[in-house]
Structure formats: C-alpha cells, structure tokens
C-alpha cells in the first residue's frame, strides 16, 4: 500500500524557537516532568471516528475532506487499508494510543453475525498494526446511535429487542477490545435520553440502563476483560435530554444502582460546557469523588450550542485540567483522547497533523505550567491558609464530629460574633496564574 500521508515525515520536537509548523514546540515526549516523561503523563490518543471517518459534512453541505485512504467501496479490504493509513498517522504523529467504535473500523453487515464477521476481519489488521508500531488501544466502544434501529435509544429503547441487539453488540465490542489489549471501554449514551417526556417512561428507561451496565459488568468478568469501564457524560445531542447529563448526574446514577465501583468517568471538555459547566468543574467533581478516569480532549465554541468538537488550543483550560490530573496522581488507565475533528475548510490530509500537533503542544504547555504552579505551591498554600480555621479549635471539633448544634450555640452565644473574614483575593490569584502561562 502506498503512503497515505506521503511527504510528511515523523513529527519531531524542535523547541519553542522553531518556525516549522510540522514540529512540536512544547511536546517533548522524553522530557521529564515531576518524575515522569511527557509521553507517560499525557497519554495522547487519536479518535478514529473523527480522524479517519468524519468527512466534515454538515446539515448544509456534504463532506469536504480529502481522505485518500477511502476508495468509496465500503469493502472490508478498504476498511483494512484505512487501518494501515491510520497507523501510519499515529506513528508519524508519535501518539501512544487510539480509540474506536466498532462501526468506525468495520462496516455494519445485513445481520449481527455478518457485522461481527466484518469486525473480526478488521481486528486482525488492527492487531497486526498494533504489534508493528507499538501503538495501543486506550479504549474501545460500540456505536449504539447511528443505525436507525437505535432511533429510540439502545439500553433505554422502548423496544426490548433493540436492548437485546445492543447487548449483543456491546458483548462483541468488549471481546474485541479485550483481544486488542484495550486499557478501557467507554459507554457513551448516544441516544439514551428522550425527545419528549410525552412518550417516555423515564423511571423504566433508567432502570433498564442500569440493568444493561450490570450485564456488562458481569460479562466483563465472564470473559476476563481487565480494562477500566467508563461512562462519558453529555447533556444533549443527539437527544434533547441525555440521561448521563453531567458528572454529578452520572455519579448519582452510579451510586443509586450500585455501579460506582465498576465505572469511572470519561470527561469531555465540550460536553462539560454544553452542560453549563466548565471543563475543570467536571474534572474536579469527578476527581473529588474518585471517579475521574479519562478525558476526551477537545473544545467547544461558546457562541454555539452544540458539540463542535474542535481541537483544544486554550492554554488556560489545558493548564487547569493538567493541574487536576496531576493533583489526583496522574492517569492510570486513562489518557487524553482527541475527540475532535478538523474544520470543514481544513480539508487536506496535512491538516490532521496541524490539528493534533496544536492539541498536543497546548497540553504539553499546560502540563509544564501546572507542574510549575505545583512546584511553587502558589495555589495550594493559599487554599491551605484559607481553610486554616478548620485545622484547630472549633473547626477541628466540627470536622471530628465532637460538637453539634447545642455546643455550637453555646460557643457562639459566648463569643458573640464570628471571627472576621479574609479576602478571597480572586484577582490576585488570576494575575498570579497568568505569570505561569
């Protein structure tokens, strides 16, 4: 097979002074930060669906992207060649991981058996290419939203047969992920929600979703898959309301249905802003509850109300997200998966490199800035001092559960007024952070 990205050599680190757009200015995979290489901290992954399947059509016009790896036949052979093109890209870019949906890599057949067979044919090549290049599977997943059968949802469909189909499809996707040594498996509730409550039994649908996930947990044991399960929150699109709407809704759901020890969260930046939160809020909430697993790294557009899935270029966001990730001790099974596509007008194959290079460099800068902020202790010291009243005296007594309303009433009646507050120094801290960027 001839090269898909002919004329593009391996992207190298050339440092901040370089003027070569096809080089890294900040991402230096071997550079040690807090005792670990950048490569191991950031665990970059390419999303197969956006990078190799998305032609960037929209509601007003067809696809624009030149994708020399597609011959338009929809054949298995073409699907296999596309895998080879993808691994050429992963290797030239120097990422350690990729992610895919079952239907991204292999065409859907007329029956489930045929689809499974198609998948097996392509998985053979994925396996070969993983072995040849050392690139690994960060996570696998199943596409339970594109085919018309999923119009009412998959695990939350009103049609029990569709639930059964989805279960069979996920079982196969899990087997394949295991076969490829995937480090995780993602559940994104593509159509698990509703268009209108007029036709929806919400309680029943939520119970079914939980049942589905419990079945997946059981099947994981049965087949001996050791990877981490994740739920990926998103508030809307394609449905008006998705049940996994944000990190807090997922956490409540997981707790209610006794699933919290089996699934962590895959937080996507653009989904956070769609939910009316910041990316950092979602990460902090997940980390605070011990369920931050992995990240879909992208960016939305504040003026647009949908999932624009742009490449991450916001230094502020990347710094703060790396701060949360470093504070939790770094990724274990997770990583930074670029769930992002190039702009419709960036139609040439080289644009895929520019897009990923930008995302990788921005996160590398964020990592360095976050490590410097941690090294100097500027935020940590301020926060520790801000909560000092809880470290001794009445604060410590409250935290230890030594006092109740009765004792606190006696304490405050005697004291008369609370100790004076101190400034939160919001602007001073914001200014301080800018010094690190």
Which residues are at the interface with Ni ion (CB under 5 A)? Answer: 268, 296, 307, 339
Contacted entry of Ni ion, ligand XLS, none for residue 186, CB cut-off 5 to 8 Å set by kind? ligand XLS
Choice between 101 and 136, CB closer to ligand XLS: 101
Q: What is the DSSP string of 304-366?
A: --S---BPP--HHHHHHHHHHHHHTT--SS--EEE-----TT--SHHHHHHHHHHHHHHHHHH
Contacts of 192 (CB under 8 A, 6+ apart): 153, 154, 155, 156, 205, 209, 239, 242, 243, 244
User: In angstroms, what is the minimal distance from the CB of 248 to ligand XLS?
Assistant: 18
- Which residue in the list 26, 50, 101, 341 is annotated as catalytic? 101
User: In angstroms, what is the minimal distance from the CB of 413 to ligand XLS?
Assistant: 55
Give me 184's structure tokens: 């995780």
Contacted entry of ligand XLS, Ni ion, none for residue 141, CB cut-off 5 to 8 Å set by kind? ligand XLS
Choice between 186 and 247, CB closer to ligand XLS: 186
Choice between 141 and 228, CB closer to ligand XLS: 141
Strand 263-268, strand 44-47: pairing: unpaired
Which residue has the CB atom at the shortest distance from ligand XLS? 188
- Which residue in the list 41, 50, 102, 104 is annotated as catalytic? 104
Report d(CA 240, CA 233) in Å as an integer.
Answer: 14
| 135, 170, 339, 423 from 143: Cα distances, Å | 22, 9, 15, 50
Contacted entry of Ni ion, ligand XLS, none for residue 205, CB cut-off 5 to 8 Å set by kind? none
Report d(CA 244, CA 252) in Å as an integer.
Answer: 10
Report d(CA 315, CA 331) in Å as an integer.
Answer: 20
Choice between 86 and 369, CB closer to ligand XLS: 86
Residues interacting with ligand XLS, by CB under 6 A? Answer: 101, 141, 186, 188, 232, 234, 268, 296, 307, 339
- 101 part of the active site: yes
Q: Residue 381: what are its φ and ψ, rounded to 5°? A: -60, -40
User: In angstroms, what is the minimal distance from the CB of 52 to ligand XLS?
Assistant: 13
User: In angstroms, what is the minimal distance from the CB of 142 to Ni ion?
Assistant: 14
Choice between 129 and 307, CB closer to ligand XLS: 307
User: In angstroms, what is the minimal distance from the CB of 172 to ligand XLS?
Assistant: 16
3-state DSSP assignment of residue 193: strand
Report d(CA 73, CA 70) in Å as an integer.
Answer: 8
Q: Which residues are designated catalytic?
A: 101, 104
């Amino acid at each position: 097979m001839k090269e898909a990205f002919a004329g593009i050599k391996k992207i190298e680190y050339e440092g901040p002074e370089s003027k070569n757009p096809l080089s890294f200015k900040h991402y230096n995979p071997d550079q040690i930060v807090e005792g670990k290489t950048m490569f191991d901290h950031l665990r970059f992954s390419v999303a197969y669906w956006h990078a190799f399947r998305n032609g960037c059509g929209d509601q007003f016009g067809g696809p624009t992207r030149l994708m020399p790896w597609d011959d338009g036949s929809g054949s298995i052979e073409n699907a296999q060649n596309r895998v080879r093109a993808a691994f050429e890209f992963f290797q030239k870019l120097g990422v350690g991981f990729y992610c895919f949906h079952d239907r991204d890599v292999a065409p859907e057949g007329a029956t489930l058996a045929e689809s499974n067979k198609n998948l097996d044919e392509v998985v053979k090549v994925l396996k070969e290419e993983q072995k040849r290049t050392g690139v690994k599977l960060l996570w696998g997943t199943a596409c339970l939203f594109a085919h018309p059968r999923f119009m009412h949802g998959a695990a939350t469909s009103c049609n029990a047969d569709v639930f059964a189909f989805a279960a069979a499809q996920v079982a196969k996707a899990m087997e394949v992920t295991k076969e490829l040594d995937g480090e995780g498996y993602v559940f994104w509730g593509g159509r698990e929600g509703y268009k209108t409550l007029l036709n929806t039994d919400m309680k029943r649908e939520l119970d079914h979703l939980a049942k589905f996930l419990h079945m997946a947990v059981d099947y994981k044991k049965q087949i001996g898959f050791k990877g981490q399960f994740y739920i990926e929150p998103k508030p809307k699109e394609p449905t008006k309301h998705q049940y996994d709407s944000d990190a807090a809704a997922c956490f409540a759901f997981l707790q209610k249905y006794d699933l919290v020890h089996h699934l962590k969260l895959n937080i996507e930046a653009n989904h956070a802003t769609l939910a009316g939160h910041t990316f950092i809020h979602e990460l902090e909430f997940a980390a605070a509850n011990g369920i931050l697993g992995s990240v879909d790294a992208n960016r939305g557009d504040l003026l647009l109300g949908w999932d624009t899935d742009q490449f991450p270029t916001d230094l502020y966001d990347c710094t703060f997200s790396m701060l949360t990730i470093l504070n939790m001790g770094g990724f274990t099974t997770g990583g930074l998966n670029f769930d992002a596509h190039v702009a419709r007008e960036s139609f040439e194959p080289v644009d895929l490199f520019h897009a990923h290079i930008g995302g990788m460099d921005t996160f590398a800068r964020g990592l360095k800035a976050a490590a410097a902020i941690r090294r100097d202790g500027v935020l940590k010291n301020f926060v520790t001092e801000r909560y000092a009243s809880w470290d001794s005296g009445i604060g410590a007594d409250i935290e230890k559960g030594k006092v109740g309303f009765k004792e606190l009433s006696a304490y405050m009646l005697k004291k008369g007024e609370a100790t004076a507050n101190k400034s939160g120094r919001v602007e001073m801290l914001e200014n301080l952070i800018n010094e690190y960027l």
